[in-house]
Amino acid sequence: VGVLERLTALPNVRCTYGNTERYVLDGRRPWPQVEDVLAEPSLMPRLLQIARNFGWTEGALAAAGWLDWLAELPLELALTLPDGAKLLGVHASPGHFDGHGLRPGLKPEQLDALFDGCPADLVCVGHTHWAMQLVHNDIHLVNLGSVSNPVEEDWRASYVLLEADEAGHKLTHRRAAYDRSAVIEMLEKVRHPARDHIIPFFQGWQKPSWHD
């Protein structure tokens, strides 16, 4: 709730819809699902952790009146920069808030499947929590990384600064250190029901899903 309050207090802020918004709004949580647990009962502890985590989040957002705001977020954000370049912002890939996203090691045909037909010159995504950028078929693809849940060895918050004027534009990945121990202490203080699931994210234990 505090993050949403700070973001929406910024001038001209624009946000897009991602998979976590879906988890909160429609009740379908991340893996594993009930059918996965029925097939593999050892997944039950993780299912319970996920349920507690998103149940807490949904309740906090509902109590503070943020669910309608989340539900109205657009899938994509399209802008034209001062130099005429077309920018597309989307959580995972054009037309998608979930699924495969931009990550290291993708082959040209995999990039084609994600970005072919996109009319933008510059596409900014997140989703995989891995900061990177590359050019594919004349489209500049940028993954912003993650502020609180990086899956890289660098645990600092990652974001991108876009500087643009009539002469051109430039993107720079930036990192910012913050006190992760304070976040962990707060999770313990409020007795978050899924703190055993969340705390490892702030201790560097989260690994890229494509490395499993």
**Pairwise CA distance, residues 52 & 60, whole Å:** 12
Do 168 and 139 share a domain, yes or no? yes
Do 37 and 93 share a domain, yes or no? no
Domain range holding 81?
Answer: 76-176
Do 115 and 157 share a domain, yes or no? yes
CATH of residue 160: 3.60.21.10
Start-to-end Cα distance in the chain: 32
Do 6 and 68 share a domain, yes or no? yes
The pLDDT, as a whole number, for residue 209 is 73
The pLDDT tens digits of the residues spanning 150-159 come to 888 898 999 9
Which residues of the chain fall below pLDDT 50?
A: none
**Pairwise CA distance, residues 157 & 9, whole Å:** 20
pTM score, whole prediction:
0.93
The pLDDT tens digits of the residues spanning 85-122 come to 999 999 999 999 999 999 999 999 999 999 999 999 99
Do 68 and 13 share a domain, yes or no? yes
Do 26 and 97 share a domain, yes or no? no
Centre a 10 Å sphere on the Cβ of residue 84 and count the other Cβ atoms it contains.
10
The pLDDT, as a whole number, for residue 165 is 98
Do 58 and 127 share a domain, yes or no? no
Q: Is 187 a member of any domain?
A: no
Do 122 and 172 share a domain, yes or no? yes
Do 129 and 51 share a domain, yes or no? no
Do 167 and 92 share a domain, yes or no? yes
Q: Is 188 a member of any domain?
A: no
Question: What's the number of domains the chain is made of?
Answer: 2
The pLDDT, as a whole number, for residue 205 is 76
Do 69 and 80 share a domain, yes or no? no
Do 105 and 62 share a domain, yes or no? no
Q: Is 155 a member of any domain?
A: yes
8 Å CB contact between 17 and 28: no
Q: Is 192 a member of any domain?
A: no
Q: Is 168 a member of any domain?
A: yes
8 Å CB contact between 118 and 95: no
DSSP code of 163? E
Q: Is 189 a member of any domain?
A: no
The pLDDT, as a whole number, for residue 201 is 87
